[in-house]
C-alpha cells in the first residue's frame, strides 16, 4: 500500500525591522520545526504586501553527496551541511 503525500505551505506572519532579520527568524523557526516534517530548506519569506516575491532563506546548492547545503542563502564560506556558528570575542 502506498500513501500519497502532498506539499502544503503555512503562512506565518512575523513582525521585524527588515528582510535580513526576517530571514534569520525564518531559518530559526524552520530548523526548530524540522521534527514536524517541515522541509526547512525550502523556507522563504516575503513582504506581507508583496507575497509573490519570495526570498529564500537557505542556500539552494547541492553538496557532492546530493544533500542540500545547510547554510543561509548568501553565505561567504564553502557550502556545507552544517551551519557555521560564529564565535563572539
Ligand atoms: Zn551553500
- pLDDT tens, position by position, 49-82: 999 999 999 999 999 999 999 999 999 999 998 7
Backbone angles phi, psi at 22, to 5 degrees: -65, -40
Radius of gyration of the chain (CA): 15
Tell me, rounded to whole angstroms, the distance of Cα 11 from its chain centroid.
14
Mean pLDDT, rounded, for 35-53: 93
Q: What is the C-alpha separation between 1 and 38, in angstroms, rounded?
A: 24
Cα separation, 72 vs 4, in Å, equals: 31
Q: Where do the structural domains in the chain lie, given as residue ranges? A: 1-89
| 62 Cα–ligand 1 center, Å | 7
All residues with CB under 5 Å from ion ligand 1: 59, 61, 69, 71, 79
Q: How far is the CA of 47 from the centre of ligand 1 (A)?
A: 24
pLDDT band at 88 (very low <50, low <70, confident <90, very high): low
Q: 27 in helix, strand or coil?
A: helix
Closest CA relative to residue 31, chosen from 15, 42, 20: 42
Amino acid at each position: 500500500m502506498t500513501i500519497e503525500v502532498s506539499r502544503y505551505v503555512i503562512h506565518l506572519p512575523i513582525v521585524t525591522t527588515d528582510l535580513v532579520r526576517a530571514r534569520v527568524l525564518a531559518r530559526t523557526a524552520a530548523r526548530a520545526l524540522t521534527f514536524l516534517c517541515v522541509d526547512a530548506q525550502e523556507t522563504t519569506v516575503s513582504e506581507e504586501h508583496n507575497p509573490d516575491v519570495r526570498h529564500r532563506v537557505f542556500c539552494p546548492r547541492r553538496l557532492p553527496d546530493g544533500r542540500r547545503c545547510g547554510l543561509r542563502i548568501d553565505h561567504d564560506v564553502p557550502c556545507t551541511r552544517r551551519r557555521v556558528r560564529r564565535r563572539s570575542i
